């Protein structure tokens, strides 16, 4: 046999198998360890030793089974992908994933639609949430000072039920998903950024920082201002909203970074509410004579309810109930880095609202140029909450998979 034939045949076989493309296109090799917990569709974030170019698309491929997932660049060295394999607790242990360049057309499963009033984010054709950049006017029977921007409403369930309310009957100052402090002192004066009727403060959308639609998720970064009626901006807040590609249930994160951009310390008094809040559906509001159906149901990771959950601490809290004769709900998870985690709750005894309220456990303060950071994961579903699924989400947050970069191949 000609001495050149065998090497050529081997090369042809390697090219046909795709092995050559995988090896020479490989950017990194990651080990993903279950960390002692079952992992199903877990969100994996990894930092690489080298920078990746945004000019290319990338995949994460199980080196043993060939299962792969699209990779999204968070920046030049950090990547994100959805785990394509199920890892059984203390069973699968470490799985190797090759991070490769790919010529596969990058899909954008989560879309962001810009409107005159804000952003509608959808998974496929299903709407997930709407963020208000424009000032939303109150109903005609409510004073103008209830107008508000810089909040989320509606939040939709996968079947299209609306789980939030805005300008609700009886409490027009509550707005879907919002972040505000209540009892505070600023420059020696009482300030209240939650109760708009007090006219002692408010929150507004300031500007859009960025909009990203990628291979895995969509992200919008927004600037909000917490201001007094002087007016004087006390806190400048950045919201980073990340919506993941899951169609049922929906999954999204809100990361809040508040910095005191004034020259004076903001003192937050011990108080029974104030913080990241959720105003539930009009169908759960007994003050709403038009849309009310039945009271909501609340449950926490420790099994507390409306009856006994107020001022309790919770790693997650779920609110669910009938909306247009369909049962839907939303569970909200705090993250371990949050101040006073797991944070205390304010659960109202009769109306459908609750919030994570760290001020329940005592006063604190935010000095000039200092930050208050918090992060929350929202799971929106139809039917009652799947307890096993909730526990897996909590495991991913409290005990994420262990990621190790094993080696870097030369290009």
| pLDDT digit string (tens) for the chain, length 411 residues | 444 443 333 333 333 444 334 444 689 999 999 999 999 999 999 999 999 999 999 999 999 999 999 999 999 999 999 999 999 887 657 899 999 998 877 789 999 999 999 999 999 999 999 999 999 999 998 999 999 999 999 999 999 999 999 999 999 999 999 999 999 999 999 999 999 999 999 999 999 999 999 999 999 999 999 999 888 999 999 999 999 999 999 999 999 999 999 999 999 999 999 999 999 999 999 999 999 999 999 999 999 999 999 999 999 999 999 999 999 999 999 999 999 999 999 999 999 999 999 999 999 999 999 999 999 999 999 999 999 999 999 999 999 999 999 865 443
Structure confidence at residue 26 (pLDDT):
85
Structure confidence at residue 172 (pLDDT):
96
Scanning the structure block, which residue is given the tokens 């990203």? 212
Helix, strand, coil shares of the chain, percent, nearest 5, are 10, 45, 45
CATH 2.60.40 is held by the domain 26-104: yes
- Chain centroid to Cα 100, Å, comes to 27
In 3D space, the residue among 163, 128, 383 whose CA is nearest the CA of residue 250 turns out to be: 128
Structure confidence at residue 92 (pLDDT):
58
Rounded-to-integer distance, Cα 397 and Cα 281, Å: 27
For the chain, the domains span 26-104, 110-398
Structure confidence at residue 406 (pLDDT):
86
CA distances from 82 to 50, 107, 248, 398 (A): 21, 14, 15, 17
Rounded-to-integer distance, Cα 93 and Cα 108, Å: 31
Structure confidence at residue 350 (pLDDT):
95
Structure confidence at residue 24 (pLDDT):
40
Tokens of 163: 């789980």
* SS3 assignment, position 40: coil
Structure confidence at residue 9 (pLDDT):
38
* SS3 assignment, position 168: coil
Structure confidence at residue 25 (pLDDT):
62
Q: Do the domains at 26-104 and 110-398 have one common CATH topology?
A: no
Scanning the structure block, which residue is given the tokens 């009727």? 197
Rounded-to-integer distance, Cα 196 and Cα 178, Å: 13
Tokens of 370: 């200092």
Rounded-to-integer distance, Cα 278 and Cα 316, Å: 13
- Element (H or E) spanning 232, and its range? strand 232-243
What values do phi and psi take at 360, rounded to 5?
Answer: -60, -35
Scanning the structure block, which residue is given the tokens 């060939």? 66
Q: Could you tell me which CATH class the domain 110-398 is placed in?
A: mainly beta
- Would you say 321 and 384 are in contact if contact means Cβ atoms under 8 Å apart? no
Rounded-to-integer distance, Cα 148 and Cα 226, Å: 12
């Amino acid at each position: 046999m000609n001495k050149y034939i065998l090497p050529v045949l081997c090369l042809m076989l390697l090219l046909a198998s795709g092995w050559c493309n995988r090896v020479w296109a490989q950017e990194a090799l990651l080990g993903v360890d279950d960390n002692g917990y079952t992992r199903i569709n877990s969100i994996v974030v990894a930092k690489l030793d080298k920078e990746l170019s945004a000019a290319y698309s990338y995949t994460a491929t199980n080196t043993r089974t060939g299962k792969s997932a699209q990779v999204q660049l968070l920046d030049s060295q950090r990547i994100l992908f959805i785990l394509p394999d199920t890892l059984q607790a203390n069973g699968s242990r470490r799985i190797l994933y090759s991070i490769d360049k790919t010529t596969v057309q990058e899909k954008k499963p989560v879309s962001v639609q810009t409107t005159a009033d804000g952003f509608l984010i959808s998974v496929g054709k299903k709407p997930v949430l709407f963020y208000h950049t424009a000032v939303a006017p109150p109903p005609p029977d409510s004073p103008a000072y209830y107008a508000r921007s810089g909040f989320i409403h509606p939040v939709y369930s996968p079947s299209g039920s609306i789980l939030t309310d805005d300008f609700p009957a009886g409490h027009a100052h509550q707005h879907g998903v919002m972040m505000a402090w209540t009892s505070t002192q600023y420059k020696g004066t009482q300030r209240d950024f939650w109760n708009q009727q007090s006219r002692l403060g408010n929150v507004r959308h300031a500007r859009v920082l960025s909009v990203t639609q990628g291979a895995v998720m969509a992200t919008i970064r927004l600037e909000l201002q917490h201001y007094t009626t002087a007016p004087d901006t006390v806190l400048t807040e950045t919201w980073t909203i990340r919506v993941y590609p899951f169609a049922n249930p929906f999954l999204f994160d809100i990361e809040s970074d508040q910095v005191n951009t004034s020259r004076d310390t903001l003192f937050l008094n011990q108080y029974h509410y104030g913080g990241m809040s959720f105003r539930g559906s009009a169908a759960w509001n007994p003050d709403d004579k038009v849309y009310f159906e039945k009271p909501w149901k609340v449950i926490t990771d420790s099994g507390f309810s409306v009856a006994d959950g107020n001022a309790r601490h919770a790693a997650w809290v779920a609110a669910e109930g009938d909306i247009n004769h369909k049962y839907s709900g939303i569970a909200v998870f705090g993250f371990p880095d949050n101040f006073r985690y797991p944070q205390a709750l304010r659960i109202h005894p009769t109306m459908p609202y609750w919030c994570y309220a760290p001020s329940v456990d005592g006063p604190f303060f935010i000095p000039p140029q200092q930050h208050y950071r918090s992060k929350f994961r929202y799971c929106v579903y139809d039917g009652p909450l799947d307890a096993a699924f909730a526990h897996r989400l909590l495991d991913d947050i409290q005990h994420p998979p262990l990621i190790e970069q094993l080696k870097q191949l030369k290009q």
